[in-house]
Structures are given as C-alpha cells and as structure tokens.
Amino acid sequence: MAAHAGGLRNTAKNTAKNTAKDTAEDTAGGRATVRIEGLVRSFGERRVLDGLDLSIATGEFVALLGRSGSGKSTLLRALARLDHDVAGSGVLTAPDHVSVVFQDARLLPWKRLLDNVVLGLDGPSAEQHGKDALAEVGLAGRERAWPVELSGGEQQRVSLVRSLVREPRLLLADEPFGALDALTRIRMHALLRRLCERHRPAVLLVTHDVDEAIALADRVVVLDRGRIAADLPVDLPAPRRHGSTAYAALRGRLLGHLGVELGETAP
C-alpha cells in the first residue's frame, strides 16, 4: 500500500528532471501546449527515450505510432508525470491540467458512474456537468449504475467522459480503444472527434493502429529508437476514405516507418 501512497508524493524523490511548469498561454516558441526537448528516460542500462523532441500546438490532435516496446507509454507517462522512479533528463513543458485515458477504463469499482466521472471535482456544477457529459455519450439515466454493470465499451465511454469533463488543456490517451471490438471502435472514434471538437484540448493519442491514427489525427508521429522518426501531417479531404490514393500513400509511408513493407500487408 505504501507504494500507492508514495505515488502521490510528487516531486521530492522524482529522479526525472522535469521542468514542468504550467506554461503561460503562449510560450515564446508559439502556440505550443507541449514542448519536449532532448527527453531521456532509461530503465537500467536501456535508454528507452533517447533525446526525444516533440511539440504539440494548442488544440492539435497528434497520434503517436510505434512498434511494441518502442517507448510510447513511457513518453505518455512522462507527460502525465506518472514516472516517479524513472531515471531521465531533458526539458518537458506540459500544462498542469492534463487528463489521461488509460487502455483499461480504470473506473473505481466502488463508485457509481457519476461519482467516477466527477472524481476529484467539487461543487454542485460538477455534478450537473457530469450528468450532461454522460448523456452526451449515450449514458443518460445510468448515473447510479456500478461500473461492473457496464459493457467494456460503455466503461471506456465513461472513462472518456471523466477525462474530458475536467476540460484539460492536454488529453493523453494510451491505446484507449485497444480492448474494444471493431464496430465499437468506429463509434468511439466519432465520439472522440466530436468531444475533442467541443472541448478543444491538445491530444496525444497512442495507438498501434495506423488507420486509427489517420482517421483521428491532424498529425501522426512515429517513435523509433527513442526518437521521433517521422512526423507527417494528415491533410486529407474531410471524409478520410480508405480507398483514396492519398490515404493509401500516407498509410504506406507510416507502415514503412514502422518497419512493415507494404508488400507484406497488401498482396
């Protein structure tokens, strides 16, 4: 248990040298919500992040691709300041107001839905906001349900609501739809896009699904050997159809950066 409690003890023993101040609205470098320079994170001898640079503009939606074990979660946890005992260095500027969507919905099983959504918020307006937000994702009337009574997709919707209802300036999502079936995924994509358009946070979405990245993001970056190996804008016309040549070209380039030759996937 002391481990959890220790987890809340924030800075004192933090070996990672974050210079994580809440950035003033616009830093000198432009409208950046996140600025990372020369970020290093290592586990033992292994440098998982090795001088990584990345910045995310205000309201920008960035998808992060990378092979399994390339350090995507490590980067995300650094941004969320969850990497207390990890060795590292570098400059990392991120807002204090960060929300995280985990791969598992991570609802507290002993709290009813609404209490999960407004966890850590107070005031009567929070409750109302929570209710409205639940209604927004099609869970009106379920405020008093227990998390075990929900399907996986419903739980993930609640978790999305929980992170957006606190109007974060930065939304971090680590394979939030990884555990969902294809159909629910498509619905969740539409939902996420709608919610993001409404609340306009900067988003960093970790995924290993190239199509998901293209469908959602303004920009796709690929993490490889501890650095950003590719940084490609997604400027496709509005309905991003699988069939279009621009789509196929982008998809091919991304897969190439991930080490998958197109010949292997498309015969």
Partner 1 sequence: MSTTSTTSTTGTTGTTAFGTEEAPAADAPVTTARRARPGRGRKRLGPGRPVRYGWALGPLLLLAVWAAGSGLGLFDPRSLPAPWTVAGTAGDLVAEGRLQSHLATSAQRALLGLLFGVAAGLVLALVSGLSRLGEAVIDGPVQIKRAVPSLALIPLLILWFGIGETMKVVTIALGVFVPVYIHTHNGLRTIDNRYAELAETVRLGRWAFVRHVVLPGALPGFLLGMRFAVTGAWLALVVVEQVNATSGIGYMMELARTYGQTDVILVGLVVYGLLGLVSDALVRIVERRALSWRRTLAG
Ligand X SMILES: Nc1ncnc2c1ncn2[C@@H]1O[C@H](COP(=O)(O)OP(=O)(O)OP(=O)(O)O)[C@@H](O)[C@H]1O
Q: Based on CB atoms, which residue is closest to partner 1, 109 or 267? A: 109
Angle between helices 124-136 and 152-164 (to 10 degrees): 140
3-state secondary structure of 229: strand
What Cα–Cα distance (Å) separates residue 168 from each residue in 82, 141, 203, 205, 258? 16, 25, 10, 14, 30
Say how far apart CA 78 and CA 253 lie, in whole Å: 28
Window 51-80: contact mask with partner 1 (x via CB under 8 A) = -----------------------------x
Whether residue 90 contacts residue 38, with contact meaning beta carbons closer than 8 Å, is answered with yes
Candidate ranges 68-76, 113-121, 130-138, 234-242; the one touching ligand X (CB under 6 A) = 68-76
Residue 148 partner contact from Mg ion, partner 1, ligand X, none using kind-dependent CB cut-offs of 5 to 8 Å: partner 1
Torsion-angle region of 123 (φ positive above 0: left; ψ -120 to 50: alpha; else: beta):
left
Residue 70 partner contact from Mg ion, partner 1, ligand X, none using kind-dependent CB cut-offs of 5 to 8 Å: ligand X
99 sits near partner 1 (criterion: CB under 8 A): yes
**Number of residue whose CB is nearest ligand X:** 73
Whether residue 234 contacts residue 244, with contact meaning beta carbons closer than 8 Å, is answered with no
Say how far apart CA 266 and CA 260 lie, in whole Å: 11
3-state secondary structure of 69: coil
Q: Based on CB atoms, which residue is closest to ligand X, 113 or 205? A: 205
179 sits near partner 1 (criterion: CB under 8 A): no
257 sits near ligand X (criterion: CB under 6 A): no
183 sits near partner 1 (criterion: CB under 8 A): no
* DSSP structure class, residue 13: T
Whether residue 165 contacts residue 130, with contact meaning beta carbons closer than 8 Å, is answered with yes
Closest CA to 50 of 224, 203, 195: 224
3-state secondary structure of 204: strand
Window 201-220: contact mask with ligand X (x via CB under 6 A) = -------x------------
Q: 7, 152, 256, 259: which one contacts partner 1 (CB under 8 A)?
A: 7
Q: 23, 55, 74, 163: which one contacts ligand X (CB under 6 A)?
A: 74
Q: Based on CB atoms, which residue is closest to ligand X, 70 or 159? A: 70
Q: 48, 65, 172, 220: which one contacts ligand X (CB under 6 A)?
A: 48
Q: Kindly give, in sequence order, each residue whose CB lies less than 8 Å from that of residue 113, ignoring residues fewer than 6 positions away.
A: 107, 134, 139, 142, 143, 144, 145, 146, 147, 150, 158
Phi, psi for 116 (deg, rounded to 5): -65, -40
Candidate ranges 66-74, 87-95, 151-159, 254-262; the one touching ligand X (CB under 6 A) = 66-74
For Mg ion, the binding residues (CB under 5 A) are 73
For ligand X, the binding residues (CB under 6 A) are 43, 48, 66, 68-74, 208
For partner 1, the binding residues (CB under 8 A) are 1-8, 80-82, 98-100, 102, 104, 106, 108-111, 119-120, 146-148, 162, 166
